[in-house]
Amino acid sequence: MTNKKITLTDIAKELGVSKTLVSLVLNGKGNANAINKETQQKVINKAKELNYKPNQVARGLRTGTTKTIGLLVADISNPFYARIARIIEHYADIEGYSLIACSSDEDEEREKKLIRMLTNRQVDGIIMASTLQEPEAIKQLIDQKYPVVLFDRYFRELDCNYVGVDNKEAAFQAVSLFIRKGHKNIGFLTLTPDHISTLKDRRHGYVKALENSGISLQSDLMLELNYEELKNKHYNQIKEFIIKNNQITALFTTNNSLAVGCMEAIKELGLKIPDDISLITFDDVELFKYTSPSLSSIAQPVEEIGKQAVSILLKQLKTGELENIRKELKANLIIRES
């Protein structure tokens, strides 16, 4: 394996020219610097011949820019985040950026560690759906002029780029639909940590819809599930919840995993959706169309969210100006059988 790594210096030496010359040519700045066409061609040929590979790390150290974006979410394998990741990867790639993807597992300490990791790695910017309660760690980034785009989740107290949907309105619409259909005892299932903005907003939408129709809020009908338990598919709490509150005829869940948990629990209890209990969930998953029954859901404009997130980040990377762009999109209530 003769394959010693080829560097700029190797090419320069072989050709008897300077590193600068080679660097310029290989970076397409040959013409701008009025370098002899012939010389340019020689350099290019030699680079190909030696199978030269520019060392991005060295370039990164020198230029202070790594062409890398950090993507931080709760769980990269959750269909919602997985789809967003793919879209972000796509748009980032167009501009030559790669993604370091990481999952916080809804663990605040872990998220802080990951933020540190990403900045240590000198990623040029971060796109994240944060699980933090206090955005102090993110504020520090911004104070250091670090480009950050939040998506899905925001912080009221923090001036930061953001793209997401109007969660309160979407939840309001879904629950209002239940009410119009005559449901009075509508359960609300959500996750902890419950300080997450999306979850809070969805809860507000639920409460508002009830208020709006003069239905009094029963705190019994609201259940919070622990993220870890949910991840390990411990659906017992959901079952107990349904048994204890057997007046419930409709359920609103704040994410796709909860909806799956409900399907399982309801099935195990021998109940039927929607005959016994109706279900609408936040976040659409492709297969919800084919479940039994097909699940009604609130679909976020995933493509647009990912695209906007990258677009905002890249703009600020290019200009160096950290504006403060907030995009609130509309979610789409998809009514199916459930």
Partner DNA sequence: CTGAAAGCGCTAACAA
Partner DNA sequence: TTGTTAGCGCTTTCAG
Site residues for DNA per CB under 7 A: 5, 7-9, 16-21, 23-24, 26-27, 33-36, 39, 54-55, 58-59, 61-64
101 binds a second copy (CB under 8 A): yes
For residue 216, state whether it binds a second copy (rule: CB under 8 A).
Answer: no
Going from the C-alpha of 62 to that of each of 55, 59, 141, 200, 304, the distances in angstroms are: 11, 5, 22, 44, 34
Binders of a second copy among residues 107 to 126 (CB under 8 A) are 116-117, 119-122
Nearer to DNA, 50 or 94 (CB): 50
Other residues' Cβ atoms within 10 Å of the Cβ of residue 221: 20
Min dist CB 205 to a second copy, Å, is 25
Sequence-distant (≥ 6) Cβ neighbours of residue 276 within 8 angstroms:
249, 266
Q: Choose, by CB under 8 A, the member of 243, 271, 287, 335 that binds a second copy.
A: 287
Q: Nearest approach, Cβ of 144 to DNA (angstroms)?
A: 13
| SS3 at position 172 | helix
- In angstroms, the Cα distances linking 123 to 1, 230, 317 are 33, 32, 11
Q: Which of 24, 89, 150, 188 binds a second copy (CB under 8 A)?
A: 89
With contact defined as beta carbons under 8 Å apart, do 197 and 154 qualify?
yes
Residues of this chain, 292-331, that bind a second copy according to CB under 8 A: 292-294
Using an 8 Å Cβ cutoff, are 338 and 259 in contact?
no
Nearer to a second copy, 113 or 200 (CB): 113
Among 55, 133, 213, 246, binds a second copy (CB under 8 A): 55
- What is the size of the binding site for a second copy (CB under 8 A)? 51
Nearest approach, Cβ of 294 to DNA (angstroms)? 53
Q: How far is Cα of residue 144 from the mean position of the Cα atoms in its chain?
A: 23
Nearer to DNA, 58 or 243 (CB): 58
Q: Among DNA, a second copy, none, what binds residue 8 when CB lies within 5 to 8 Å by partner kind? A: DNA
Lookup: tokens for 201: 């907003």
By residue count, the chain amounts to 338
111 close to 122: Cβ distance less than 8 angstroms: no
Q: Which of residues 132-191 bind a second copy (CB under 8 A)?
A: 143-145
For 116, 161, 279, 314, the CA distances from 202, given in Å and listed in that order, are: 30, 21, 15, 30
Cβ neighbours for 25, distance < 8 A, ≥ 6 positions apart: 35, 39, 40, 43, 44
> Which CB sits closer to a second copy, 103 or 197?
103
Instruction: Using CB under 8 A, list all residues that contact a second copy.
Output: 1, 3, 53-58, 60-61, 66, 68, 75-77, 79, 82-83, 85-86, 89-90, 93, 98-103, 116-117, 119-122, 143-145, 260, 263-264, 267, 285-288, 290-294
